């Protein structure tokens, strides 16, 4: 009976720690799959992309025109001209967050190097070379960084710095809370306890 109770305690501890360790994506519609795309793409100058606001110029919500990084859809930050999209996230001041997104470019025209600005607490500049890329070989590149929120609301924005109708392309946007050291320690302790119990039971010849 003692062994069973101890095992259950270890499972409960590890489960609780794992729940705290696994964070939810704060970005809503981060892979742009909430909207269906008639044809291969749709130009957006208004709220066509659910949960995102087109703040400057216009962008294209792209469907089957090329292979997305995640799901079917992605966003070309240049519609007929360079555009910007943003979304305000609910954050906790002082909390550290992991931010990531995947970047490619519209290879069909314009200059080969596509440039964009990404702002989430601070501004970052990124570029993508479309040389040799195609619909089936977009060359998606994942970028990841961390930031500390300074308030209960943090605005994430993507803005093209390339002129014309062929711009940088984004997909698979994510912002998740980085677990506190105490939560990580609890997870490791719970897993260690379960391993110790398993070894003792094996040594005793029980199941």
Per-residue pLDDT of 84-99, as tens digits, reads 999 999 999 999 999 9
Least confident of 15-24, 28-37, 43-52, 64-73: 15-24
Residue 125's pLDDT band (boundaries 50, 70, 90)? very high
What are the structural domains, with CATH classification, of the chain? 1-22+191-207 (no CATH), 24-178 (2.60.120.260)
Alpha helices in the chain (DSSP H): 2-21, 181-204
Q: Strand (E) positions, the chain?
A: 41-44, 53-56, 59-62, 74-76, 84-90, 96-105, 113-119, 123-129, 141-148, 153-160, 168-177
Q: Which two tokens stand for residue 125?
A: 């500049």
Q: 147 or 198: whose pLDDT is higher?
A: 147
pLDDT of residue 46: 59
Sheet harboring 84-90: ordered strands across?
53-56, 84-90, 153-160, 113-119, 123-129
How far apart, in Å, are the Cα atoms of 165 and each of 10, 109, 187, 203? 57, 8, 49, 68
Sign of CA dihedral 53, 48, 82, 112: positive
Closest CA to 96 of 121, 118, 75, 116: 121
**Residue written as token pair 């890329």:** 133
Number of C-beta neighbours around residue 131 at 10 A: 9
pTM over 0.85: no
CA nearest to 33, candidates 135, 176, 171 = 171
Digit-coded pLDDT (tens) for 126-167: 999 999 999 999 999 999 999 999 999 999 999 999 999 999
């Amino acid at each position: 009976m003692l062994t069973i109770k101890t095992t259950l305690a270890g499972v409960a501890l590890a489960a609780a720690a794992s729940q705290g360790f696994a964070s939810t994506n704060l970005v809503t519609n981060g892979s742009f799959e909430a909207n269906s795309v008639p044809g291969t793409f749709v130009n957006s100058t208004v709220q066509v992309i659910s949960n995102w606001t087109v703040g400057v110029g216009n962008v294209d919500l792209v469907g089957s025109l090329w292979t997305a990084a995640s799901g079917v859809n992605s966003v070309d930050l240049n519609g007929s001209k360079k555009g910007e999209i943003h979304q305000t996230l609910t954050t906790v001041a002082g909390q550290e967050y992991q931010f990531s997104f995947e970047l490619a470019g519209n290879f069909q025209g314009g200059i080969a190097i596509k440039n964009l600005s990404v702002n989430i607490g601070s501004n970052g500049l990124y570029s993508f070379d479309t040389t040799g890329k195609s619909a089936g070989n977009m060359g998606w590149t994942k970028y990841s960084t961390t930031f500390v929120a300074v308030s209960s609301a943090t605005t994430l924005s993507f803005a093209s710095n390339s002129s014309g109708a062929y711009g940088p392309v984004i997909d698979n946007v994510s912002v998740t809370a980085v677990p506190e050291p105490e939560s990580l320690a609890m997870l490791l302790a719970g897993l260690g306890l379960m391993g110790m119990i398993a070894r003792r039971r094996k040594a005793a010849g029980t199941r």
